[in-house]
Amino acid sequence: MKKKLLTKTYVRDVETFNLKIFQLENCIVCVKQIVKTNLPFVTSSGLKLIDNNYQIVEVLPKNLNYAMRVFLDDNKQVVQRYFDITKQNGVDKDINVPYYEDLYLDIIIEKRGISVLDETDLDNALQKGDITQQDYLLARNTLNSLLNELKTGKNALMAMDLNKFLF
């Protein structure tokens, strides 16, 4: 299981980016505006997620076991929504940066539909002892609950107006 700092996620080939962090009552919102990237990030299906003037919005609910990442193009149109199933979300007290503990499972929402990723990674992590049985069950139960919310249109994060946070 990896602890991921929001100031460092999805900026590997990015040379310069602007950052805004909002502490809301029930979640933390982190927005990165890509100013200059050395290499645009394009998925294997040809979907461009990161390039100059693109934005990444990450939402960490304070009492739920997932994080939502939204990739927006240079016209502020949603390209993809990506959910990480997490053990815990919070703020690192030493460096005051939001983080999440990744429990391997992911959900991607694109125009073509909803996909679940990395189920084998979760199973392997349990077999290797990288996570506990309790972590495994938390990940599976969170996945099932979140999928149900997404398919029935009842997920609160999907309904958030992200425009008020953008650059």
Q: Which domains does the chain have, with CATH numbers?
A: 2-165 (2.40.380.10)
Tens of pLDDT, residue by residue over 119-128, are 999 999 999 9
Residue type, 158: M
Whether 112 has a pLDDT exceeding 90, the answer reads no
Compute the distance between CA of residue 81 and CA of residue 68 in angstroms, rounded to an integer: 7
Bridge partners (DSSP) listed for residue 27 = 61
Instruction: Indicate the DSSP class of residue 7.
Output: T
Q: Which residues contact 118 (CB under 8 A, 6 or more apart)?
A: 104, 105, 106
pLDDT band at 83 (very low <50, low <70, confident <90, very high): very high
Whether 54 has a pLDDT exceeding 90, the answer reads yes
Q: Are 98 and 30 in contact (CB under 8 A)?
A: yes
